[in-house]
Amino acid sequence: MMLQSTRFNTALTLLVCSTLLFALNSCKPEVTGALGEPFDKVEGMIGTWELQAFTQQDLNSPIKETRDLSDFFLDGIATPLQITFDANRNYSVAIELGKNYFGEGGTWGFDDDLYPSYLQLYTVSDTLQYNLGGMVRSFDQSMRIEYRRDCNDAPTNIYTFEFNRIN
């Protein structure tokens, strides 16, 4: 008798739960409207970008801390690092202080113009690749890119460059 009661209670509980789930799902509002056209990722990059912050994360450190190393590029006197991307896919770099991680200039592109993951800079002697910290739209005023350093195919550091659009 006890076994029948337990089975009945279990069946009743399952019935009540499934009824509640069905009721909750049927009460959701209908999604209407369109998302619109996707924004042009290339257009979002066009302009001059000035370095605002520079951080380093040591992936070999047990605490994985991120250090603010902006002082290597920003001293309040010299013009901060600037990168300009144009519509013809050319780029130029202006730097007075700090190490130049971007080359002297050249052409630029994405690994995929519709769904980019990487910014690629093509110089006369090298191809540089950076992870995008998020896609930039033409009205966005900030951009974040990451340079990931490896040693023997093992990641060691992530340098994060945060830029503000100045035009």
- What are the DSSP calls for 92-105, one per residue? EEE-SSS--SS-SE
pLDDT of residue 27: 61
SS3 call for 63? coil
Task: Count CA within 13 A, CB hemisphere, residue 13.
Answer: 6
pLDDT of residue 62: 86
SS3 call for 83? strand
pLDDT of residue 153: 84
pLDDT of residue 37: 78
- Taken in order of first residue, the domains within the chain and their CATH numbers are 41-165 (2.40.128.20)
pTM listed for this prediction: 0.75
106-115 LR contacts (CB < 8 Å, sep 24+): 108/45, 110/41, 110/42, 113/41, 113/42, 114/38, 114/41
pLDDT of residue 74: 93
CA distances for 145 relative to 3, 22, 68, angstroms: 63, 45, 15
CA distances for 70 relative to 56, 101, 149, angstroms: 9, 14, 18
Residues with Cβ within 8 Å of residue 104, at least 6 apart in sequence: 92, 93, 123, 124
pLDDT of residue 155: 83
pLDDT of residue 90: 98
Q: How many CB atoms lie within 10 A of CB 60?
A: 10
pLDDT of residue 159: 94
- One digit per residue, the tens of pLDDT, for the chain of length 167 reads 554 556 666 666 766 666 655 655 666 667 676 777 778 899 999 999 999 999 999 988 888 789 999 999 999 999 999 999 999 999 999 999 999 999 999 999 999 988 899 999 999 999 999 999 888 889 999 999 999 988 888 888 999 999 999 98
147/149 Cα distance (integer angstroms): 6
Q: How many CB atoms lie within 10 A of CB 20?
A: 10
